[in-house]
Structure 1
């Protein structure tokens, strides 16, 4: 029985290559500084994760041969069936969640069974093996170990969510391998779908038939941008595996693929991920647009200033030859002046050889200038640059 879902290895390979290139680029691009940040993030994660592990150990009930021997035996049996040699610590925890989880802390694996699941399946205890096997799948396939390394690729549209869904299908197959018969698998997934009492009357054939409803745009989009396959598909896939049959699901909507390709994975599902993306675009735009506006104006001021600089030597030459300041641009050989309507600036000459670079107007219509002013002292001319009603942050450094 092949336990690994058909697409997982391929998706993992693509994600691993992309992530390796991203991490390499970050390390080389930051001259190794990124490694320091990774270490700090790891330390932060350890402290944050220790809260849950401490709560689990201090509040949950550890499953052992003495404490819930039936669950402990199910754990040992499932480890043997799935090839997990290092039996993880298992706990029973009272929560409002109807599921199970696997986690890893300082090299040690933990499996947590929630009491609602165990209580709901009290009349069919073998069905709990599906949950145990599912979480052992995460451990055996090293999903928890690889998650940090694959983080860059996990954020990518389509790829990140496709890998997560493939992992879930794989773990469901591990769960199936730990169950004795079809009814165990059906009961385990029916309990998630219908709750702790109604699951017993759930019509599995009718529920699996709902898979046909997943072909539409909205169903396709929200699955493509989500971390989990629809539960109807999980049940259909698991039951088919138990019966040794292949299964084909309806094709997803073409337009859903196109839209989902634009939505990065945030682990929040389609609509929420789309909203987060739009918010991020809005935040980036609120920062980028003003920055771009500043960049354009700085460039415009600098270009206008650069065009005026050669005129300083022409003013000096005129003074030396005529022993007087030029009174107009015509005196310097520019009868039409200097003007750039595209960049919105013009250059003119004013009293005592002062060069005025007009760079626009303010909201009140007052003109903005870069002023390049000469001073004659003992036969030498020195120049001073400053702004007149101009926005200081746009001025060239020489003029601030």
Structure 2
């Protein structure tokens, strides 16, 4: 049985390439300052996530050979079936949440089973294997490990949500691999759909037929912009896999595909909070990247002006050797005009009085001119050229001019 859903690997490869290019570009644009912010972000996440892990260890019940050995045996058997060598820590936690989750803290993986699930499936405990297998799938496929690196691509329209849905389909396949029977698979997903008691009377055939309505515009659009496939599709996919059959889902609405191209991923189900978080992330990145990029542009502009002035300096040296006097204008050196103007970088270079070459870099906020100057200085060893700035920000100057 192939445990990886068909779309996960190609979507993952695209996300890795796009995220890698994003992080590399941002690292270059910020001259490494990004690393400091990433470290601060990691520390913030570490402290925030530690609250949940501490609550889990302090209030949850750790599943072991001595504590709920039946659940521990399922965990160990699930790890064996999916090829996971390191058995994660597992806890039973009371919460108003009907599902299970996998998380990671400081390199250690955790599987959390919520009591509502375990209680609801008391009469069919084999269905719990599906939940355990699903979460082991996240660990085995390293979904948690890659999540931070893939964050830039995960915000992209269509791609981010598609990758998350593919991961869910993959983990459902892990759940199927851990189950002993088709009825356990149906029970596990039915419990999510119908609740802790009504799942027992769910008409699975009728429920699966509901997937036929998912090709409409609204159903298509809201699935394309969400992190989870419709549960009817997940059950159909899981049941078909257990039977060794292939399944084709209804085609999504064409206009829903088009419209979803303009909706960035904001997390499971969207929502105002997710949108605010996305906007905040973009704002933080912009606050770091935009000033750094502006500094980069200014440094490049001053470097270009310095190179232009150095070329004129060479021409002046040759002129002095031939004429033993300072040239009046650049035209004396063979230039067509008395000023070299660089329109693209917004500066102009000309000869200044007193044996200097000056690049006018524009005005500051107070209307005062800013200059990069190369000036000839007489010393005991002869004439030397020195470079400095007038009314400029020092960090923008080339290293030789500071």
Quick check: 1:263–1:273 contact (8 Å CA) kept in 2?
A: no
How many Å separate the matches in 2 of 1:70 and 1:149? 37
Structure 2 distance, partners of 1:24, 1:275, is 26
Superposition pairs for residues 1-400 of structure 1, below 5 Å?
Answer: 1-269=1-269, 272=271, 276=275, 397=367
CA deviation profile, 1:192-213 (whole Å, cap 9, x unmatched):
0000000000011110110001
CA distance in 2, matches of 1:141, 1:207: 30
Q: Is the 8 A contact 2:267 2:274 kept in 1?
A: no
CA distance in 1, matches of 2:195, 2:161: 26
Secondary structure at the residue paired with 1:136? helix
Contact map agreement 2:176 2:241 (CA 8 A) in 1: yes
The answer to whether the 8 Å contact 2:228/2:268 transfers is no
**CA–CA distance in 1 between the matches of 2:279 and 2:169?**
31
What is the DSSP-based 3-state SS (H/G/I as helix, E as strand, rest coil) of the residue aligned with 1:102? strand
**Structure 2 CA distance for partners of 1:275 and 1:153, relative to 1, 3 Å:** closer
**Pairs aligned (count):** 287
Cα pair 2:133 2:177 within 8 Å, conserved: yes
Structure 1 residue 276: Cα displacement: 3.8
Write the distance in 2 (CA, Å) between the matches of 1:213 and 1:28: 48
Regions of 4+ moved over 3 Å: 272-277
Shift of 1:258: 1.0
User: Per-residue deviation at 1:396?
Assistant: 7.0
Task: Structure 1: state its 5+ residue gaps.
Answer: 285-394
In 2: Cα distance, 1:276 partner to 1:72 partner? 39
Distance apart, 1:20 and its partner CA: 0.4
Query: Helix, strand or coil: the match of 1:245?
Result: coil
Preserved CA contact (<8 Å) 2:56 2:93: yes
Taking a change above 3 Å as real, the CA distance of residues 150 and 280 of structure 1, as seen in their structure-2 partners, is closer
Provide the rounded CA distance (Å) in 2 between the counterparts of 1:211 and 1:244: 20
Partner Cα distance (1:268, 1:170) in 2: 17
Deviations 1:200-230 (A, max 9, x none): 0001111011000100000000000000000
Matches of 1:215 and 1:260, distance apart in 2: 14
SS in 1 for 2:45: helix
Alpha-carbon distance between aligned partners in 2 of 1:120 and 1:242, rounded to the nearest angstrom: 23
Q: Distance in 2 between matches of 1:200 and 1:146?
A: 37
The answer (yes or no) to whether the contact 2:161–2:226 under 8 Å persists in 1 is: yes
Q: Tell me the distance in 1 between the aligned counterparts of 2:61 and 2:104.
A: 18
In the TM superposition, what whole-angstrom CA distance separates every residue of 1:238-275 from its partner, at most 9, and x where no partner exists?
000000000000010011011111000110425x3799
Instruction: Measure, in 1, the Cα distance between the counterparts of 2:114 and 2:61.
Output: 10
CA RMSD of aligned residues (A): 2.2
Structure 1: distance between partners of 2:151 and 2:274: 21
Q: Distance in 1 between matches of 2:269 and 2:65?
A: 40
**Aligned-pair distance for 1:135?**
0.1
Residue deviations 1:22-47, cap 9 Å, x none?
00001111111101111110111100
Higher radius of gyration, 1 or 2: 1
**CA distance, structure 2, for counterparts of residue 69 and residue 396 of structure 1:** 76
SS at match of 2:101: strand
How high is the TM-score relative to the length of structure 2?
0.69
**Kept after mapping to 2: 8 A contact 1:265/1:273:** no
Q: Secondary structure at the match of 2:210?
A: helix
